[in-house]
Amino acid sequence: MSLLIKNVQIVDGRGRKPYKGDVLVQKDRISAIGNLRSKQVKDFIDGLGNYLIPGFVDPAATTDRYLDLLLNPGQSRLKEQGIGTVIGGNGGASLAPLIYGRLDALSKWADGINVNIDWHTAADFFKSLSRLDLGINFGTFIGYDTVLQAITGGEERGLTKNEIKIVHRIIENGLKDGAFGVSLRSGSYKTMAKSEIKGMLDLVTKYHCSVSLSIDVRSGKEEIEKAIEAFSRKNRVKILVADFWPIAGHEGVFEEVLSSAPSNVKFVLKPYPGVIYQALDVLPEWITKDRDRDNLAKALLDEDVLKKLEPELAWIAPEKCLVVYAGRHEILSGKTLKELSEIYDLPPVKTLLKVFSLCKLRVSLLYPSANETILMKHIKDENVFISSYSNSSFMETAYLKEIEQDGFTRFLKTACESDSKNLPGAVKQVTSAPARFLNLKNRGVIKEGYAADLTLIDKDNFKTIASITGGITKGIPLRHRG
C-alpha cells in the first residue's frame, strides 16, 4: 500500500529553505521525494502548494499521566494538532515500570480503577501498547518517584544501600527495554544519597539517555541551579526541564535561569499562559500534611477549615479558573469555577473545595498564571522546545472554551510574523531538534527511509490540514536505542 502527497512545499526539519516536491509513503516509511506526479498510486493527497513538515515532537505531553493514552489511544486531538510523537513519563511519574502492577504514583492525577494493568516491566508495557490502535507514537521516561513508591511503599525516607542497588537494577532494565531516560522532581536530589544519584547518572550516560527534571520557578534561582547541577554531571548529561513557567512575580528568576543555563539543558515551554494545577498543588501544606486522600476530602467540607482556606485561595479568579479534569465526575470538566459556583449556588472557594472533595482531590485546573509577554519573548530561544502539556481529553475541554488553540502551529505562525524566512528554523525547533536531543532514530526529518510522520499545514494561516502518523499504518510504542 502506498500514499502519494503531491504538490507541496517541503520544509524538511533540517533548517533548509522550503522546496517544491512530492513525497511517496509506503507503509510506515518515506520511500521517495521529488517530482513523482507520474507515479500511479491508489491513494493521494493534493497539498495545493501548502507546507509539508515532519510531525511535531512533543516532549512533555500529559497523555499518560491522566491515563488518557490508555482510555483514548487514538489521541485524535493531539494528532489533529499535527503532533506525531509524544514522550511521556515526566515529573517523576510514569506508566512503567510498575513493580507491583499498581498505578500508585499516578494517583495525584488520575483514578486507575477502569484500567487493566497487564504489565510490570517497560518491555511488557510496550507490548501492551502495541495491541492498542495508537494514533501517535509514544515513548516514555522512567519516573523515579514511580520506582521509589514501589520500593518504600510511599514512605518519605532515604533508601538503604540494598534498596539503591534494587532501584538501579530496575532503572537499567527499563533503559535496556527502551525508556528514554529518567524523570525526577526538582527537589528529589535533597533526599537522594550521592551514590544513588551517581548510579542513576552512570546508567543514563551508559545508555545515551537524558534526564527530565520538573522544576517550579517559585523555588528560587539558587535552588533551581542546585537541582540542575545535581543531575548535570558537569554539563555532560542532557537535561530536559519541564513545568517551568514565568509565573507572575517570578519572571526575573525565570529569565535568569533560562539565560544562564548550560548548553546541555533544554527548557520545554508552550505558547500559552495557562498552567495546569493539581488540587494537591493548590492547597496549602498545613491542610494536606499527614492526611490521606479520603480524610483530606472530608476535612475540606469542615466550616472551620473553610474559613482558614478562604484567604489563602483568594488569588484564584473564578472566571479564569477552568476545571479540565475531574476524576470520575466528567460532567464538571470544561466549566469555569464561576460557572460551577452559580450551579452550586455557593461562593467560589467553597465551590472549589466541594469539587475537590467530591473528586477525592483528583482535579486539574487550568489557570493563566504565566506572564504571556515574557513567555513569548523567550519561546524562540535556542534552548527551548515546545510542548502542548496536554492530552486529547484536555484539548477537547480547552477548545470548547477557546482558551488554547493549536500550540505548535501558533508557535510557527508567531515565529514567521516578522519574517517568513524564520519558518525553516522554527520547524526544526519542533521536529528534528527535540528528536536529536532525545535520540529519536529516523524521526523529525523528511528524508527517504525515515518514519512517515508528516503534517500538512496551510501556508497562509498555519492551521493543520492533515496529520499522518506512522504512514498508512498507525502510531507505535517508541523504544530508545542507545
How far, in Å, are 16, 47, 268, 419, 443 from residue 424 at the CA level? Answer: 6, 18, 20, 11, 16
- Residue 76 shares a structural domain with residue 187: yes
Is residue 222 domain-shared with residue 293, that is, in the same domain? no
Structural domain for 98, as ranges: 55-273+371-439
Same domain membership, residue 298 and residue 362: yes
User: Looking at the structure, do residues 314 and 269 belong to the same domain, yes or no?
Assistant: no
| pLDDT computed for residue 482 by the predictor | 66
| Cβ proximity of 179 and 140 under 8 Å | yes
The reported pLDDT for the residue numbered 148 is 93
Give the model's pLDDT for residue 327.
85
| Residue 215 sits in the same domain as residue 92 | yes
Check whether residue 70 and residue 154 sit in a common domain: yes
Q: Say what the pLDDT of residue 113 is.
A: 67
CA distance 470 to 473: 6
Q: Whole-angstrom Cα distance, residue 63 to residue 73?
A: 9
Do 250 and 295 fall into the same domain? no
Whether 361 and 379 map to the same domain: the answer is: no
Total of domains in the chain:
2
Per-residue 3-state assignment (H helix, E strand, C coil) for 141-195: CEEHHHHHHHHHCCCCCCCCHHHHHHHHHHHHHHHHHCCCEEEEEHHHHHHCCHH
CATH number of the domain enclosing 121? 3.20.20.140
Residue owning grid cell 513569548: 376
Q: Which residues of the chain have pLDDT under 70?
A: 113, 398-405, 472-473, 482
Out of 350, 367, 384, pick the residue that ends a domain.
Answer: 367
The pLDDT value recorded for residue 124 is 96
Assigned domain for 193 exists: yes
pTM above 0.85, yes or no: yes
